[in-house]
Chain A
C-alpha cells in the first residue's frame, strides 16, 4: 500500500490518514494493520494515567521535551472523553503541547474515547502501532482523566505511570484495588503544593510490593510546569525499560499483550459481523424493543443475533 510505504518513511500526513482509517475502522483498516504490523515492536510505549487535573498533559509535554534532548523521536496520543450523549468530543490536550507541533521528531494525535470505557479508546493499541512503524521511539499514551479502575492502559503500555498530586485522597483510597496496582512509576506532580508528605505516605503502601516481574515501583516528585524532576523521571522511565528488557519481562508480557489484543479484536469483529449488515441492525432494534418489554432477555437476544449472523 502506497499509504503505508509513505508512513514507514516517516511521512506524517500518511501516518495521520492511516490513524483515521484505524480509528474509523473503515474497509482499509485490516490491510493497513496487516502491512504495518511487521514493522512494529521497536518503540517503548509509556502509559500516563491518573485523575483529572493532576497535570498529565503538561507532564507529557515536559517529558517529550526531555526525550527530544536525548535524541529520541516522540509520539504522543492524547485521549479525552467522548460524550456518550452526542458522540462529540472536545480534545484539548494540544493546548499544553503547542510548541512541539513543529518539531520534526514529534507526532501528536488527539483521540476521543468513542464509547470505550477504561480511559482509552478501542483503537488506541492500533494507533500506537502506526507511531511505532513510522519510527517513533518513545510513545506516550495519555489516558482520559481516570478514576479508580481505568486500568486499560496497563495492558497496552510497557511502562505505566500513575500521576497524582497533593491533597487528593487518604490512605484508604490508596489501598483500593485498581489504578494504584498498575503503576510502575508513581509521580506526585504539582509537588510545590502543600500536602506532599501525606501523598507520599499514602503512596508508600502502593510501592511496597514488588510486581510479579520483580520490579519495585518508584515514586518521583515533579513540578511539570517548571520542568522540575522531569529529567529524573525520564531516567526512571529508562531504568524501567532496561529492567523489562534484561529480565525477559518485555518478551513475556508481549505474549500477554498479544492475548489481550486478539481478545479485543475478536470482540470487535463479532460486533462488526452484526453491525455491518443493515438487516441485522433492524433486527437488533426489534430485539431492543422486546428486551425493554421483558419479552426476551438480553443474553438470548445476543445469541439470536449471532445465529442470524451465522456465527452461533
Chain B
C-alpha cells in the first residue's frame, strides 16, 4: 500500500510556476501524493524538503535559463548526503544541447514543452515501481 510521493519544486528566481502547477495537478490526478513547495526555493531547501517528505522523486522546474547551475547543485547536494533512492526529473525551457549534460548529471528524464502529461505520470509510476 506504499503511496507514490513526488516533490515538485521551483529552484531559483523565476516566477513562472504555471508549468510546475500543471504537472503537479496531473500527478495528483494520476493518484500521486504531490508536495508542492512554491516559488524561489534554494537547492538546499529542495533537498531538505525531499528528505523530510521522504519522496520517491523530485521534479524540478526552471524557466530562467539557470537550470544547469541550479539542477547541478541539487544533484551535488543529494550526492553529498548519500541519497541515491530519489529519482530526479526536470522540465522548463531547456535547450536540446543541455539534455545530454543533464542526464550525465544523473537527472533521469527531461520533460520539455509539449510533453504529454500522461508521459510524465507514466514515467513516475513506472520508475518507482508503484
Contact = CB atoms under 8 A, between A and B. Distances in A.
Interface of A: 12-13, 16-17, 19-20, 23-26, 82-83, 86-92, 94-96, 98, 101-102, 107-110, 112, 114
B20 to A, nearest CB: 11
What is the predominant secondary structure among interface residues of chain B facing chain A? mixed
A102 B41 CA distance: 11
Given A16-B54, A86-B28, A88-B34, 19 more contacts: A16-B51, A20-B54, A24-B2, A26-B2, A86-B30, A90-B25, A90-B28, A91-B36, A94-B35, A94-B49, A95-B36, A95-B37, A98-B37, A98-B38, A102-B45, A102-B48, A107-B52, A108-B49, A114-B3
Contacts of B41: 98
Contact of B51 (A12, A89, A94, A114): A12
A109 B35 CA distance: 10
Contact of A89 (B28, B44, B83): B28
A93 to B, nearest CB: 9
A94 B25 CA distance: 16
Contacts of B5: 20
A68 B27 CA distance: 34
B10 to A, nearest CB: 10
17 contacts: A12-B52, A13-B51, A16-B54, A20-B2, A88-B28, A88-B30, A88-B31, A88-B32, A90-B28, A90-B36, A94-B38, A94-B49, A96-B38, A101-B45, A108-B49, A109-B52, A110-B33
Q: Which applies to chain A's interface (DSSP): helix, strand, loop or mixed?
A: mixed
Interface in B41-76: 41, 44-45, 48-49, 51-54
